[in-house]
Amino acid sequence: MSTAQSAPALSGSARTMTDPDLVALVAKLRRSFESGVTRPEDWRHRQLERFQAMLVDHEADWLEAMRADLGKPQFEAWGSDYRIVLGAVEGALKHLSGWMKPRKVGSALVIQPSTARILPEPLGVALIIGAWNYPMQLAIEPAVGALAAGNCVVLKPSEVSPATTGLIAKLVPQYLDPECVAVVPGGVPETTTLLTQRFDYIFYTGNGAVGRIVMAAAAKHLTPVTLELGGKSPCIVDSDVDLDTAAHRIAWGKFFNAGQTCVAPDYVLAHTSVEAPLLGRLASVLREYYGDDPKQSASYARIINDRHFQRLQKLLGSGERVVGGEVDAAARYIAPTVLRNVDPGSPVMAEEIFGPVLPVLTVPDLDAAIRFVNARPKPLALYVFSRDDGNVRRVLDQTSSGGACVNDCLSHLLADTLPFGGVGDSGMGAYHGQSSFDTFTHYKSVLNRPTYVDPKLRYPPYDANKLKWVKRIG
């Protein structure tokens, strides 16, 4: 009988692996983990070295796969996917020994003599479900942390980006330990079956609707999760601002990867005094970036598939077009588009856009911008452009978001010292750098007490004198 019969349905998709195959796969990885093979530093270090070789040996293949899936310019594919993953591997190789070391901590007087330590240990078998918009980075960067932490991994890349997923499925078994790391290419049926299995950690990147399905499935086994879910990330433009720099950075952050970025500026809240000049500069910057006909630009990506193209095309009528709006269904092309006079209740403001459409709304002051943001679900990122440090502090202090960036967009993702993750509807948990190792690690608290002395103070029978001394030292 299929183990997926009681699993939540996600949507239709072609089948590539059977339920028994998937159950057997997870069982094999669990046996591998329980054998202890993944725990030694030597094994982890070797897997990271092989990971690095898999990237370096096939750099051109990775870039070509992302071009095939998304029309990604080589510059964007290298910087946003390939280099980020390679940097994560290099960082893990450099710091692995330090991350793995037990940490000595103090212990209370009442339990002396004793020593206390915190031992990092792997969680077990992790399921990583990637996303299609950055199909290399979002599928395999979390795996770097999971392997560094000593886990076995089931890697489920997105079926929506078939070229990159196919490359992952081809290369991972060639380079990484096949007894401990497995790729499940397939689609929704495979994911649905995997979610019926017991994992020790689930890491999911995608939308909130599926995130809720993942969390519900994880709850049946009390499995901890990281959910990277996105949301409508606001971009506040204050009245005191360097408009030229703001326009360049907002346009870059929004239209990078044709807007298909979970932390892209989803909408702009511009002070009324700067709306007109900001719109003018945005139009000028887009011509500077992509020319008079962005469709001919080698620097501009395409929409991932027809379904998302049709969804985005419907949003173009949500306001007055300042620039853009041209489409080509056959090429899955939507021009970089900026809208003004957008009603907050319009379709383009109802959900995360995830495409090259930028609504610009006006606010009379900073308080109104803060109220607008706080009236909506907490976003994955928040951007504020201002030369007034006090206004920046007000925005950061009075709003909540997974992360924030001041006078720039997207760049906070590049600092591996900053944990990346959401809050509220935009997700839970974090990764990047050591945070990736921490995510897939259990920090076990261990107290060690010698037996050469055994104070009787805590043992019955209790009396007033014992209580007096306990109060003194406790």
Exactly one of 228, 235, 275, 352 is catalytic; name it: 228
Q: Please report, for residues 159, 455, 466, 469, the alpha-carbon distance to residue 460 in angstroms, rounded to integers and kept in the order given.
A: 64, 12, 10, 14
Active site (annotated) includes residue 262 = yes
Query: Whole-angstrom Cα distance, residue 383 to residue 268?
Result: 9
Exactly one of 152, 180, 235, 262 is catalytic; name it: 262
Query: Whole-angstrom Cα distance, residue 153 to residue 199?
Result: 10
Query: Whole-angstrom Cα distance, residue 461 to residue 473?
Result: 19
Query: Whole-angstrom Cα distance, residue 111 to residue 466?
Result: 15
**Contact partners, residue 181, CB within 8 Å, separation at least 6:** 47, 143, 147, 152, 153, 155, 172, 173
**Contact partners, residue 84, CB within 8 Å, separation at least 6:** 137, 141, 413, 414
Nearest-10 crossing angle of helices 389-398, 366-374:
20
Active site (annotated) includes residue 235 = no
Both structure tokens of 74: 């080589």
**How many Å from the N-terminal Cα to the C-terminal Cα in the chain?**
58
Burial call 343-363: b when 16+ CB within 10 Å, e when fewer: eeeeebbeebbbbbbbbbbbb
User: Which conformational region is residue 239 in: left (phi greater than 0), alpha (psi within -120 to 50 degrees), or beta?
Assistant: alpha
Q: What amino acid positions are annotated as catalytic residues? A: 228, 262
